[in-house]
Amino acid sequence: MEWNLIDKQHEFLRLLERQGKSFNTVKNYKADLQCFNTFLIDKQQHLKIRSFTGTQVQEYSQYLDQKYGSPNSVRRRVQALRLFFDYLLSQEIFPENPLKKMPVSPKVLDNPEPTPFPEVLKTYQILKRREKESDGLSRLVNCRNVIIFHLIYGSGLKVSDLAKLSFESILKDKHGFRVLVEHPKRDPYSIPLPAVFNEDFKIYQNLRLEYLNQENKEMDELLFNANPYKVLSGGISPRGTELFFEELRRELKNDMTAKSLRQSCIFKWLNMNINHSTIKEWLGVTPSYSMELYLEELSKYPIAMVFQEIEEEE
């Protein structure tokens, strides 16, 4: 069967998009596969491969080691190519994945770089002020942004978690609210939301219902994608959340990302002396996940790492 490597790579990237991978994730996979293409051109002068032997796998490993000094960079490119060959295997183009036996360097974790608490607090106050000073659809969008903030700093959710939330994911209990997180490969679990979430969520509930009734729309998803004129669709993609933070960074002139805000949440939990097993459960990681880097940063910069829950405005 005749096939084109570039076409198959484009098909693979489109599959990742359909699976809900973020814009940046797909972009990184594309760059990693381009590295493989460059290797093929350097070694073989073309992009036509009908086989990929153990010798070539070893040559590619050496090529990556020479080109990149970071073990994480090498590891990421090997994993990207391994997943791509899994895709070719599923298409019955290759009989086996030639990269299965290629050794992968252990992942080196970067030191956490949380958004400092004064910036966290300032951001929340600005988001709340925008919500109070706007009306109509603009107010609904601003209120949605407040909820995104709470879900990340309040309960440590990732952007991929936000994309999957339905309105029923917010559970009421005697202490306030919890957010239910569901993954296809593990049991669902719930994370408590801070007290400050309660009133903000009630405002969002009312504004959302008012808008849907006015527009005669139905929407099961908790969050939504919108332009200045209307709600475009229910749910917000990882890329949509990333765009929100990009706009926030430009306007507030800070370095906050969804990742740095989530790391701030982890330090907040540590300062609250929450059991590490509970923190790992809320983060959706395995019990073997190490909190060592966070504890080291906490010990080195104890004052800078004093994060706390945001108090309700009076």
Q: Give pLDDT tens digits for 224-260.
A: 999 989 999 999 988 889 889 999 999 988 899 999 9
* pLDDT for 70 beyond 80: no
Among 72, 90, 108, where does a domain finish?
Answer: 90
* pLDDT for 99 beyond 90: no
Q: In 3D, which of 62, 43, 49, 68 has the Cα closest to residue 9? A: 49
Residue 256 confidence (pLDDT): 94
State whether 256 and 123 are in the same domain.
yes
Long-range contacts of 210-216 (CB under 8 A, 24+ apart): 211/137, 211/140
308 within domain boundaries: no
Structure tokens at 89: 């295997």
62 within domain boundaries: yes
Strands 176-183 and 186-192: antiparallel
Residue 47 confidence (pLDDT): 64
Residue 153 confidence (pLDDT): 97
As a whole number of angstroms, the distance between CA 166 and CA 152 comes to 16
What residue numbers bound the domain in which 244 lies? 117-300
State whether 135 and 204 are in the same domain.
yes
109 within domain boundaries: no
State whether 42 and 177 are in the same domain.
no
* pLDDT for 177 beyond 80: yes
Helices (H), the chain: 5-18, 23-44, 54-67, 71-90, 117-133, 136-149, 159-162, 196-215, 238-252, 258-271, 276-283, 292-300
Rounded to an integer, the average pLDDT of 202-213 is 96
Name 234's bridge partners.
224
251 within domain boundaries: yes
pLDDT confidence bin for 40, thresholds 50/70/90 = confident
- Average per-residue pLDDT for the chain: 88
State whether 30 and 137 are in the same domain.
no
Residue 98 confidence (pLDDT): 79
107 within domain boundaries: no
State whether 80 and 176 are in the same domain.
no
Neighbours of 172 (CB within 10 A): 10
Residue 106 confidence (pLDDT): 57
Rounded to an integer, the average pLDDT of 185-201 is 92
Using CB atoms within 10 A of its CB, is residue 95 exposed (0-12), middle (13-18) or buried (19+)? Answer: exposed
State whether 25 and 123 are in the same domain.
no
The better pLDDT of the pair 108, 11 is held by 11
State whether 287 and 147 are in the same domain.
yes
179 within domain boundaries: yes
State whether 278 and 223 are in the same domain.
yes
* Overall number of domains in the chain: 2
State whether 293 and 184 are in the same domain.
yes
State whether 155 and 277 are in the same domain.
yes
66 within domain boundaries: yes
Among 75, 90, 105, where does a domain finish?
Answer: 90
Alpha-carbon distance values, 53 to 215, 257, 294 (Å): 59, 41, 42
pLDDT in tens, 256-306: 999 999 999 999 999 999 999 999 999 988 888 889 999 998 888 888 788
Residue 48 confidence (pLDDT): 67
Rounded to an integer, the average pLDDT of 48-57 is 74
pLDDT confidence bin for 186, thresholds 50/70/90 = confident
CATH of the domain at 21: 1.10.150
State whether 294 and 205 are in the same domain.
yes
Least confident range from 36-40, 205-209, 274-278: namely 36-40
12 within domain boundaries: yes
* pLDDT for 185 beyond 80: no
172: left (phi over 0), alpha (psi -120 to 50) or beta: beta
Q: Which of 9-13, 127-131, 184-188, 307-311 has the highest mean pLDDT?
A: 127-131
As a whole number of angstroms, the distance between CA 130 and CA 134 comes to 6
CATH of the domain at 198: 1.10.443.10
State whether 152 and 280 are in the same domain.
yes
